[in-house]
Structure 1
Amino acid sequence: MKGFIFLAVFLMLGCSQQSKELSIDEIEQIKNEIITRSEKHASDLENMDYESVMTFYSKDLIMFGDGYYWGDYLTADGVWKDILGEDGWEEMLKWDLQNHKIHVHSRDAASYLVEFDHEHLVENGDTIRSSGSFTYGMQKFDGEWKAVTAHVTHIPVRTDDEKWWSKYSPSNRSK
């Protein structure tokens, strides 16, 4: 009897997995939706539009940054209010994203990694530059992709010579 139950569960899971497989076109569509959503988020940051920035995050958000647990949605809310509010940065000069890497898990779940470079002005007129990467767990809610997990790593802007590991990256490997 236990063998029959195991077989029945195995067959049900196997059949449901096959029916949930995504086509290459569906995967590409999801990747494009996530990149478009992320680029809008970057544009909202450049425009210092706090309300729009916060729509990128799920209310169930979990955040880590620079090696530490930062918190949840309310943490992101506080961080962006400080940065984008009246007493925050003077002006966002740029927020560029590159090297979008997405692994689609299902129609409503994906892992998303992306590098960023950004510059902003502070009150004394200095320009602050940094770069780094974001890792997001993305989930689709009511037709809209939102970050449910976020990890950010900030680093000082580096030259290509300082990216010692880059000789091993796919774009620099000899064929």
Structure 2
Amino acid sequence: MENNLPKTEVIVPEGKEVTTLGAGCFWCIEAVFQRLEGVHSVVSGYSGGFVENPAYREVCRGITGHAEVAQITFDPKIITFESLLEVFFATHDPTTLNRQGADVGPQYRSAIFYHSREQQEIAQSIKNDLNAKKIFPDPIVTEITPFTNFYAAEQVHQNYYNDNQAQPYCQFVVKPKVDKLKRYFAERMKS
């Protein structure tokens, strides 16, 4: 289906930048990026679909075209877009089409919704470099597409891991990604 939705206006605070990333369940993405130094805010939501103001139930059924994403506002003087993408590629499997682990469907696709030509060029360069170096056993299938719209997820999905760490999904799916962040990027984490 064609996306004829109005472009979402993104308010970017002075001196900050915004990116929108999909890497499976947004609870995972949010938990990882909230912990990085230089990240100002992380909002879980939906992007890249053809339904205006989608609801979680619709997105989960895969009928809206949206991916579960995190919209990340960051300070480029503290953490670069390249550094964010390094964490992005290291904390999910960018080689599986429309799936992350047991979460299956286009709503769980690996995606970079770029907000500028510079973000597009950086994302494409990093993807090409990782593929050329065969960092992953299979080719990266992460879509790199222009940002058009973002709809914040319902409040229950915001700050999910921090508020629900004992929940089984958080223990078995989200926590290993946070642990991977601690293992490989401890120096980039907030104290």
TM class, shorter-length:
under 0.3
Larger Rg over CA atoms:
1
Using CA pairs under 8 Å that are at least 6 residues apart, name the structure with larger relative contact order, 1 or 2.
2
* TM-score, normalised with respect to structure 1: 0.27
